[in-house]
Amino acid sequence: LYYRKGKTPRRPAPKKPTNNQKDPVGVYCRVRPLGADDEECCVEVISSTTIQLHAPDGLKANRNGEFKETQYSFKKVFGIKTTQRELFEDVAKPLVDDLIHCKNGLLFTYGVTGSGKTHTMTGSPGQGGLLPRSLDMIFNSIGPYQAKRFVFKPDEKNGMEVQNQVDALLERQKRESQQSVPKTPSSRQKVDPEFADMISPEDACKCEGVDEDSSYSVFVSYIEIYNNYIYDLLEEAPFDPIKPKAPQSKILREDQNHNMYVAGCTELEVKSTEEAFEVFWRGQKKRRIANTQLNRESSRSHSVFIIKLAQAPLDADGDNVLQDKNQVNVSQLCLVDLAGSERTSRTRAEGSRLREAGNINQSLMTLRTCIEVLRENQMCGTNKMVPYRDSKVTHLFKNYFDGEGKVRMVVCVNPKADDYEETMLVMRFAEMTQEVEVARPVDRPICGFAAGRRQRNQERGGPVDGEPPSTLSQLQNLPPVPSCEISDPSDDLTLPRVIECMEKRMKMRQMFTEEYNKAANMLKSMLQDLDGKLLSKENFLHEQRGKLGEKDKMIQNQKNEIDRLEKKSKMLEYKIDILQKTTNIYEEDKRSLQQELDSREHRLQRELSEKKRMEARLHGMVSDEKLRWQKECERRVNAKELEMQNKLWVKDEKLKQLKAIVTETKTDSRPEKPQRPSREKDRVPAKRSASPSPVPTTQPVRPMHRRSHSAGAERWVDHKPSTNVELDTVMQPNVPKAIKVTAPSEKALSKCDKYMLTHQEVASDGEIQTKLIKGDVIKTRGGGQAVQFTDIETLKQETPVAPSRKRRSSETGPNQDDKDGDWTDVETRCSVAVEMRAGSNLGPGYQHHGYPKRRKP
């Protein structure tokens, strides 16, 4: 097989159990008594399988303001009068029976802080809990069939090895010699006297159907999971009163059968209930507990007590344990005391207590999540990944839910009203857990030897488990010597009977002597073999020492080479440092020069842009000044022309009057003053500008209108900001049927087709310039309106120099016409410059207003 570079090959998936039969998780409920009689109770036992929760006073459970009652069903409910023995008979005894028959089991207690989990698991003086009763039942069942110490030995990979009798004997002697040395004070803890007798003799029980042709050994280990770290409570740390060593956390690993175990965990072989409970109590002293608001001795960690039972069949003769590792069956029972879930608002935890509570709640939440995902996968047929690795508790017991075994849970409930909300959450989780199914454990294969081997071996006095027969017991089996007293000379029976008995005894002594000689020869040959092995081992050690010396020389040479290379490396590092410093200096100079160059380039670019801007400004000023002077010259020329035309008209009128005087007769009445003739055709028109003709004061002003070809067919939005200045000029824009607004309006745009914006600004000559910006209203895809501008119309206001009419007097002559006049005409001229793009429409029209002549006072 070839794998891509950088990719780790996938590990093969664990083998699924072939057993298709499954059993649901057994969930039991135990209700503890109230602490005080006057406390309010929120739990009621309805039947042996159902309990009911009542909402306490002051808590409304639904919107109608009524108390809500809920019922929960379990495999069995134990009331406040249930004894520890009754609980053990229904819950733990089947698990112990399965343990002896090579089947795994898991039992854990779950509930709120102070609900009685530790009491259910451990018990009290005279009322042993599930753990001590399980140990007592195991040793009562396998007591006569236990193997010698160290016949079974853990292989540190969650398995067991079988040692021969000699290796086991040597290891026992070695351990006995180590135990003769005084131990540290921490290793001499004993069980408290009050816990010495937790189980009364009448409560003792044993398992039926134990295989008598097998040898058994019990191993126990005790761990705790604190802040999601695993610690070994049986680990013997060296005693240091000055600086005690903190315990080291352990890691989880997977064995060859895909079962999880704690690597490096201490496993002690025990031979009696008292010894096992002494080991448990020694670890219990190290467990982390604390005083909280809810419990005086609250468990701050999850404790796991593991009972591992190793059993192997005897050989065909029934003498020793069969030396075949494949025939060793290892089963285990895990007793878990979970820490209680709690709300920090009730416990008022701070600091480390708050962190402990957070980790406890997090691990319990992970357990709930795993159960929910398992239930969903089994009921809905999904294949979601179960998050076992999110917590050490779920990761350790992963093989119980994915593999095979029995799982039992005892839900402990405190009926007081303060725990009502937490109790409801516990009840929901417990009911959901009952719907999860676990594979049923299968029976282990049995070896093909005939049954009754141990009993036949004991009948013939042979050794069992390598224990040689007692010489004293065999000598006691010799036939007794009959009485040698002869009372009758004719007695012919006493002496032959004595002789026969003595001959039998002699034969038996000879047989014993032969057996002892045979055993001595066997022992001698065994010792010789051991001596040979010892010599071979000594030779091997000598060879290893020689090789070690050579390796030491090689190591010394390598050290010298390493020293030389280190010196060379230091010299190269020194040179590299010098080169690095030089490089840094050059880099700094380069950076400074680059910055100076960039600054100069920026300065040149800025000066160039400033120069271009100044040129553009000067060019604009020159063009504006030139345009202004051109306009001023045109205005003066037009004014001068108008003045000259007016003077010419005055002279013509005087000539007409003189002619009339000469030709006509004189009359008393003065002739009516003639109207001023129009010289519009003689005037020179300005750029698209017009001067209104003066009208007599007696005639009314008639406004003039100019309209677009498209005016009236479309609706316009006339947008005039409120900040515009009213100019009151002659020509004003007039848009009929227009919606006039002062601010942008989406509503007005939706009703019209055209848009006109009136914008005012100051022109270069200082006059106000008005721009009419026009456009079409377009519907957008999103339902709104947009304006597409089409043309711009510009209105410019100009104030021309108005000519004055001289008053004519009969007393003055014609030379004084320029000084006095009869009246003065005041005119206002307005020029409209229209700037439109090619192809644009004319837009709306204009309304022209004329002004009458005002007579000079």
Annotated binding site for ATP: 111-118
Report the amino acid identity of residue 379.
Answer: M
Task: Give the C-alpha separation, 286 to 279, whole Å.
Answer: 12
Cβ–Cβ < 8 Å for 335, 307: yes
User: What is the enclosing helix (H) or strand (E) of 69?
Assistant: strand 69-73
Residue 410: CB atoms within 10 Å: 25
Cβ–Cβ < 8 Å for 339, 165: no
Task: Give the C-alpha separation, 850 to 704, whole Å.
Answer: 8
Tell me 143's DSSP state: G
Specify the 3-state DSSP secondary structure of 46: coil
What length is written for the chain? 857
Report the amino acid identity of residue 98.
Answer: D
Backbone angles phi and psi of 725, in degrees to 5: -100, 130
Cβ–Cβ < 8 Å for 65, 368: no
Task: Give the C-alpha separation, 273 to 801, whole Å.
Answer: 131
Task: Give the C-alpha separation, 193 to 321, whole Å.
Answer: 37
Backbone angles phi and psi of 519, in degrees to 5: -65, -40
Which of 426, 125, 122 lies closest to 299 in space, CA to CA?
122
Q: Interhelix angle for 273-284 vs 130-142, to 10°?
A: 150
Cβ–Cβ < 8 Å for 111, 364: no
Distances (CA, A) of 313 to 97, 256, 324, 347: 18, 23, 9, 54
Backbone angles phi and psi of 264, in degrees to 5: 75, 15
Task: Give the C-alpha separation, 463 to 148, whole Å.
Answer: 12
Q: According to DSSP H, which parts of 82-185 are helical?
A: 84-90, 93-100, 117-121, 130-142, 165-179
Binding residues are 111-118
Task: Give the C-alpha separation, 764 to 499, whole Å.
Answer: 162
Task: Give the C-alpha separation, 210 to 132, whole Å.
Answer: 20
Cβ–Cβ < 8 Å for 841, 704: no
Task: Give the C-alpha separation, 847 to 766, whole Å.
Answer: 25
Task: Give the C-alpha separation, 127 to 574, whole Å.
Answer: 76
Specify the 3-state DSSP secondary structure of 722: coil
Task: Give the C-alpha separation, 850 to 828, whole Å.
Answer: 9
Task: Give the C-alpha separation, 396 to 253, whole Å.
Answer: 9
Task: Give the C-alpha separation, 831 to 848, whole Å.
Answer: 12
CB contact burial 702-738 (16+ within 10 A = b; e otherwise): eeeeebeeebeebbbbbbeeeeeeeeebbbbbbbeeb
DSSP 323-379: --GGG-EEEEEEEEEPPPB--HHHHT--THHHHHHHHHHHHHHHHHHHHHHHHHHHH
Residue 803: CB atoms within 10 Å: 19
Specify the 3-state DSSP secondary structure of 247: coil
Q: In sequence order, what are the beta bridge partners of 717?
A: 739, 755
